[in-house]
C-alpha cells in the first residue's frame, strides 16, 4: 500500500471543484460523468483503501457542498466505491490495468444505487420499484470509459518517460 502525501487532499478538493463545475456540462443523454468517482476509484486501486478514503472524503465533501446533494451523501457513496475497488485489488492483480476500469464500472453502480437509496430515504420514496437501471448502467459505462481514457493517457506518459505506471500493475 502506498502512502499519500500532503498534496493529495488538495488535489482531491480540486477534483471535487472540477466535478461540481464540469460534470453537469459534460452530460450525454441525461447521464453525467462522475469525475470524483473515477478519481477515487483510481486512487483506491493504485494506493489502497486509506488514500481512497481520504480522496472520497475530501473530493466528495467538496462536490457535496458545491452541488446541493444531501450533506454527506457523496462522500458516503464514494467511500463504498473506494472500499469495493480496494477489496477487489488483491484478487485482480493479473488483470493489470483492466482492473481499475472494471472497478470503476462496479463502483459507479454501487455509488448510484447508494445515492438513489439516500434520496428515496429522504423523500419517503416507494422502495426500489422503478429503479432506472438503464441509466445507471449507461453512467457506469461512461465512468469506466473515462477511467480507461485517464489510464491510457497515464500509460502513454509513463511509457514515454520509461517509468512504471503503478507499482501493482504490470506495464
Q: Is 31 helix (H, G, I), strand (E, B) or coil?
A: strand
State the CB neighbour count (10 A cutoff) for residue 87: 13
**Is the residue at 90 inside a domain?**
yes
In the chain, DSSP assigns E strands to: none
Residue the block writes with cell 477511467: 147
Residue 105 has pLDDT above 70, yes or no: yes
**Is the residue at 76 inside a domain?**
yes
Residue 141 has pLDDT above 80, yes or no: yes
2 band by pLDDT with thresholds 50, 70 and 90: low
Segments forming the whole domain that contains residue 139 = 7-161
Q: What is the 3-state secondary structure (H, E, C) of 1-38?
A: CCCCCCHHHHHHHHHHHHHHHHCCCCCECCECCCHHHH
Cell of 59: 473530493
**Is the residue at 167 inside a domain?**
no
**Is the residue at 29 inside a domain?**
yes
Task: Provide the domain count of the chain.
Answer: 1
**Is the residue at 1 inside a domain?**
no
Give the CATH number, domain containing residue 74: 1.10.1760
**Is the residue at 13 inside a domain?**
yes
**Is the residue at 2 inside a domain?**
no
Residue 162 has pLDDT above 80, yes or no: no
Instruction: Report pTM.
Output: 0.85
**Is the residue at 171 inside a domain?**
no
Q: Point out which residues pair with 28 in neighbouring strands.
A: 31
Give the chain's mean pLDDT.
84
Of residues 7 and 169, more confidently modeled = 7
Max Cα–Cα distance, the chain, nearest Å: 54
Q: Check residue 171 and give its pLDDT.
A: 37
Amino acid at each position: 500500500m502506498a502512502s499519500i502525501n500532503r498534496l493529495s487532499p488538495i488535489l482531491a478538493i480540486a477534483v471535487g471543484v472540477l466535478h461540481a463545475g464540469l460534470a453537469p456540462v459534460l452530460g450525454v443523454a441525461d447521464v453525467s460523468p462522475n469525475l470524483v468517482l473515477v478519481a477515487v476509484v483510481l486512487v483506491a486501486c493504485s494506493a489502497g483503501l486509506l488514500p481512497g478514503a481520504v480522496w472520497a472524503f475530501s473530493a466528495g465533501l467538496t462536490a457535496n457542498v458545491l452541488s446541493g446533494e444531501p450533506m454527506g451523501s457523496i462522500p458516503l457513496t464514494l467511500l463504498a466505491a473506494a472500499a469495493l475497488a480496494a477489496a477487489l485489488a488483491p484478487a485482480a492483480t493479473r488483470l493489470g490495468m483492466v482492473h481499475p476500469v472494471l472497478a470503476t464500472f462496479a463502483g459507479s453502480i454501487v455509488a448510484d444505487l447508494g445515492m438513489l437509496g439516500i434520496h428515496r430515504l429522504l423523500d419517503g420514496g416507494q422502495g426500489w420499484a422503478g429503479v432506472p437501471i438503464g441509466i445507471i448502467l449507461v453512467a457506469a459505462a461512461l465512468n469506466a470509459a473515462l477511467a480507461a481514457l485517464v489510464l491510457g493517457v497515464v500509460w502513454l506518459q509513463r511509457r514515454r518517460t520509461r517509468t512504471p505506471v503503478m507499482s501493482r500493475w504490470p506495464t
